[in-house]
Amino acid sequence: MRTLCRALVWLLVAAPLAWAQEPTGPDAQAAGERPAQGEAPDRAVPRSAAAPTDSRTSDDVFLGEITVTATRMEENLLNVPQSVSVATEGELRRRQAATPGRMLDEVPGVWNHRNGPAGASPILRGQIGPRVLYLYDGIRVNNSALFGGPNAFLNTIPPGAIERIEVLHGPGSLQYGSDAIGGIVNVITRRVPTYPEQGVLYGGRVTTRYGSVDDLLANDSYAWVSSPHLSLLAGGGFSDAKHYDGGGDFGEVKDTAYETEGFYTRLGWKPGKQHLVEASFQRFGRNDVYRYTQSKNNPSRIPTLFDPAEERDLAKLSYRGRDLGAALDSFDAWSYLQQFDSLGFRTAESSTRFDRRETTRDQSVYGAGFQGVTPVRVGREHKLVWGGDYRLEKIGSSLRLRRTTKATGAVVVSEPAGQTPDGSYEVYDAFALAEISLRENLTLTAGIRYEATHLDSAPRPIDAVTPFTLNDLDLDEWWHSVTWSAGAVWWFTEEAALAGSVGTGFRAPNFSDAISFGVPTQVTGVSTIPSPGVQPEEAIQYELGPRYAGERLTAAVSAYYLDLDPTIVPVGAGAFDVPGVGTTQARQNQTIGTAFVRGVEGSLAYRPVDGLTLFGNLTYTFGRDKFLDAPLRFIPPLNGLLGVRYERTEPRPWWIEATVRMVDRYTRHAPDDETDVAYAVDPGFNLSAANPALRAGFEMPGYAVVGLRGGVELVRRENLAGRLVVSIENLLDKEYREVHSRQVVEPGVNVVTGIEIDF
């Protein structure tokens, strides 16, 4: 495994340096001449500043990609100083992933934490949970109730609505505010592709997939129609997955089934060529979500954790104006309403009774904002992005304890004390970001954001548990932050560039950080108690790396250092009496931690001949908790991907590709790993002498997983095209476990067959 990873390092670093020579070819531009800002270049460029890997066809690897996440405006990735990866529509269609989290599995720099097939919490630069910001068309999915560990919020977005996913690596607080310390995952959804000058246009797609390993049946379909001034897009889908089979001879893995359903729609009105008003709505629900993690702790196999229902609604109204005059390139304004409701069960069984804690969550978010892009012509043309937004969250929850006596079947329902108070969370933002073109081959960016956060709780008498009083839980806190970023991209030859940036991150405490009560879990075995004195987290990152964009080769390497000071850490708080549970050990949050993460992320794509593409990526991450003087938690092992794809367009389009995903051994465990069931032989039970760590020293073995994919166009007529796509995951039926994930084993060989019909 180490030999393969070393070979991949050479491929990613040495090969680009060998190719970074003077431009050749009859169409070579003058040295240093780059495409205009915001325009796609007319020759080979990386599809991602951090991940110039594959797109839908081999030619797409060498076409320009446009991002909106990194600079809050349409910008060619070549001119973005920070690392950004893009999972394009073509890639997503080839991978046939069942969930948004799975769509990121081959994106460099992203490591997915999973507690079941329905869950995925991306780790970006050693950060997880509320330190990674999820966006849905620029609207944040994170809310102020997120706890400090992994969460599955990314998987509450309809998979069929996703057109592409952009990943910003490292702090993005300048662009989008609090929480974006490790990075940003921005899900870009489908839009009507065009408005005709006259007449009516229409189109759509029907996609059906079947996966063999978990008997997964999924359908995602959409249709659109547009006229010169009006448009409508509507779609929806469902998925139904049964329990999956593990690799090798492991057999069926129980408590891994889930169901999803959702729909989305977008109505557009174009009163003029330069103006567009849109109203959109999406609903997504997950039902009967089991988690393998804690399903076996109860002797009768009643799942410890079970989520019978989750539902997210998002309604958005937006205005977009383009080419509005000499003083305004573009102007956007939006407002939205987001609602998240869920019901969760936590069941504990003793010799005499069942205790089921039923938690209902009700979270409403209202937001509004605006943004303008102003050209500044001083010598050369520069750009200024400016704007502001407001967000108000209403957080509510209720808890009931349903106690069943085994001998008699008697049921007693009560409302236990020690609940998390309800309340509101307000955020005010203002930002400005300048893009300065010093020379044709040198672009600078710099920006600043001010953010004010207000947490206002409304505790009830039942929320307070000794030693906490109502006064302790009655918070009216304001936190203020100023974050900034600066960077540059210098093209020192026509095809080779150096990109660097420095920027800060910020995370304001939320309800979970400040006033949440938490019962003991299998992961830690301790309770969490309110921490009303907790303060914000801060970070700063330094990043530098070369980029290469040639006729046949594209490559990018980025080295970074992320300093976290201070951070919120849980510290021991002694014994605590949990109502309805008993006396346990407790932890309380304090903003006293310090840590750092450093690493290298790189990727390349090489086309030796037309139709054949070789691609790969590599991610190395090292993190240390300076407060504990120990390895930092949630640091992924060295990992990478190698792939080859061949495709033809005549006489009938078809393609085939093979990949090998390689992961090194996990050898640097954090102190909290020693109480985390993810490292046990069977994460369905508590860590104990009967269920010890999988390997001595809490190590996890490395592995290599082979995949094979292919597709062929079955039919093409004037208004109809049909394709067959087949993907074989874990081709060699490898039995392996993902580091940090709480599944006993990953799925075995999985044949996913998909039919796509475009009309």
pLDDT in tens, 282-329: 999 988 887 766 556 788 878 788 888 889 999 999 999 999 988 899
Q: What is the DSSP letter of 190?
A: P
Consecutive H or E run containing 355: strand 353-378
Judge whether 603 and 615 are in contact, CB under 8 Å: yes
DSSP of 601-665, one letter per residue? EEEEEEEEETTEEEEEEEEEEEEEETTTTEEPTTPPPPEEEEEEEEEE-SSS-EEEEEEEEEE--
> Domain of 100: which CATH number?
2.40.170.20
Q: What span, in angstroms and rounded, lies between the C-alpha atoms of 236 and 260?
A: 11
CA nearest neighbour of 67 among 160, 155, 175, 173: 175
Q: How far apart are CA 705 and CA 727, in angstroms?
A: 14
Which value, to the nearest 10 degrees, does the dihedral of the CA atoms of residues 91, 94, 96, 97 take?
-30
One-character DSSP codes across 614-629: EEEEEEEEEEEETTTT
Torsion of CA 98, 102, 103, 107, to 10 degrees: -160
Interatomic CA distance for residues 556 and 643, integer angstroms: 17
Counted domains in the chain: 1
Are the CB atoms for 346 and 356 separated by under 8 Å?
A: yes
Could you give the CA distance from residue 532 to residue 473 in angstroms, rounded to a whole number? 7
Residue 330 DSSP SS3: strand
Closest CA to 72 of 336, 378, 383, 323: 383
CA pair distance 98, 258, nearest whole angstrom: 11
Question: Contact, 356 vs 347, CB < 8 A?
Answer: yes
The span from the CA of 112 to the CA of 332, in Å, is: 33
Report CA 402 to chain centroid distance, whole Å.
Answer: 35
Helix (H, G, I), strand (E, B) or coil at 580: coil
Give 442's contacts (C-beta < 8 A, 6+ positions apart).
488, 489, 490, 491
- Low-confidence residues of the chain: pLDDT under 50: 1-63
**Among the listed residues 628, 623, 552, the one whose alpha carbon sits nearest the alpha carbon of residue 593:** 628
Range of the domain at 398: 2-758
CB contact set of 564 (below 8 Å; sequence gap of 6+): 181, 537, 538, 539, 593, 594, 595, 596, 597
| Residue 168 one-letter amino acid | L
Q: Pinpoint the alpha helices (H) of 485-636.
A: 511-515
Strand partners, 153: none
Distances 730 to 245, 441, 630, 644 between C-alpha atoms, Å: 12, 44, 34, 16
